[in-house]
Amino acid sequence: MSKPIYELMCGDCLSELRSEFGAGEVDLIVTSPPYADNRKSTYPGIKPEEYVEWFLHRADQFYRVLNKRGTFILNIKERVQHGERGTYVMELVQRLRNRGWFFTEEWIWHKTNSFPGKWPNRFRDAWEHIYQFNKSKDFSMFQDSVKVPIGDWAKTRMKKLSATDRVRDESKVESGFGKRVANWEGRKMVYPDNVLYFATVCENTGHSAAFPEELPAFFIKLFTRKGDTVLDPFMGSGTTVAAALKLERRAVGIDTERKYITSTRNRLKTEGLI
């Protein structure tokens, strides 16, 4: 009997992966973990000084369950503390590398609608890190699946549209996006670069972390094929899971909070994915 198309697991990914997954079962991990701060009101924050160790233990499990040719995509950003930008992410990346991860690339996610505000000593923060780790130099990559219309001065807009439309187009949900697709069909298509443009999600998802579906969709298309398994060990509102199902990949989402399991299941039903 074949594996289920999706699984939503409630618990700490450290123990869930250890007990429920064998080695090499996952083809792609895409996640945006809780950041190191103390915003306990929305999500159990981990203090910066404890963050690296906390994360490394879980990353060891990611490594174990990841396929030899698989990819681990980590979206994260340092917060400002006492006027300084934190450096724990830099420490984390080096530690991951020392533990055996192959540090292939750092992508930049430019958030075109970053949070507004004005301060005497800094401008608005409009970007986040996206680190790409592998198990070796030889990993699966399907570059043709993420081509974008050739750049002009509307490049950013088109890039976003292309990601959105392709997801919807390939999904089971018909949303009347055919016309927009036509806008860039027939245009010359080129490979993107390592700077991605996506707006954050403003609508109320029931989760504080607005993670646009285009973002996981981009990496799912780039690093997996239909039927492959995609894991988000810090699922949150379930955006990665939804994107994976729309693209006909198997999806596994893990979260410590029961409410996110419930809301994600509702979301998948609403979108007609399950």
Partner DNA sequence: TAGCAACTTGAATCTACCG
Partner DNA sequence: CCGGTAGATTCAAGTTGCT
Report the interface residues with its own copies, using CB under 8 A: 82-85, 87, 90-91, 93-94, 97, 102-106, 108, 110, 114, 118, 120-127, 137, 139, 141, 143, 153-157, 191-195
Stretch that binds DNA, among 3-11, 15-23, 92-100, 200-208 (CB under 7 A): 200-208
Report the nearest approach of DNA to the CB of residue 167 (Å).
13
Q: Which is nearer to its own copies, 129 or 265 (CB)?
A: 129
What single-letter amino acid sits at 174? E
Mode of pairing for the β-strands spanning 148-149 and 250-255: unpaired
What single-letter amino acid sits at 69? R
CA distance 107 to 223: 14
Write the secondary structure of 17-53 as one string of H (helix), E (strand) and C (coil). HHHHCCCCCEEEEEECCCCCCCCCCCCCCCCHHHHHH
Q: Which is nearer to DNA, 27 or 165 (CB)?
A: 165
Torsion angle defined by CA atoms of residues 122, 123, 126 and 131, in that order, rounded to the nearest 10 degrees: -20
- The reply on whether position 191 binds DNA by CB under 7 A is yes
CA distance 71 to 73: 6
- From the list its own copies, DNA, none, partner contacted by residue 68 (C-beta under 5 to 8 A by kind): none
The interaxial angle of helices 88-98 and 48-65, nearest 10 deg, is: 30
Report the nearest approach of DNA to the CB of residue 163 (Å).
11
- The reply on whether position 201 binds DNA by CB under 7 A is yes
Q: Which is nearer to DNA, 122 or 269 (CB)?
A: 122
- The reply on whether position 35 binds DNA by CB under 7 A is yes
Residues 98-137 close enough to bind DNA by CB under 7 A: 112-122, 124-125
Q: Which helix (H) or strand (E) holds 182?
A: helix 178-184
Inter-CA distances, 11 with 19, 36, 124, 143, 160, Å: 11, 19, 35, 34, 33
Report the nearest approach of its own copies to the CB of residue 73 (Å).
14
Q: What would the x/- binding string for DNA be over residues 54 to 93, using CB under 7 A?
A: -------------------------xx--x----------
Q: Of 3, 1, 21, 2, whose CA–CA distance to 254 is shortest? A: 21
- From the list its own copies, DNA, none, partner contacted by residue 204 (C-beta under 5 to 8 A by kind): DNA
What single-letter amino acid sits at 124? R
- Binding residues for DNA, rule CB under 7 A, total 43
- From the list DNA, its own copies, none, partner contacted by residue 211 (C-beta under 5 to 8 A by kind): DNA
Stretch that binds DNA, among 30-38, 167-175, 240-248, 252-260 (CB under 7 A): 30-38
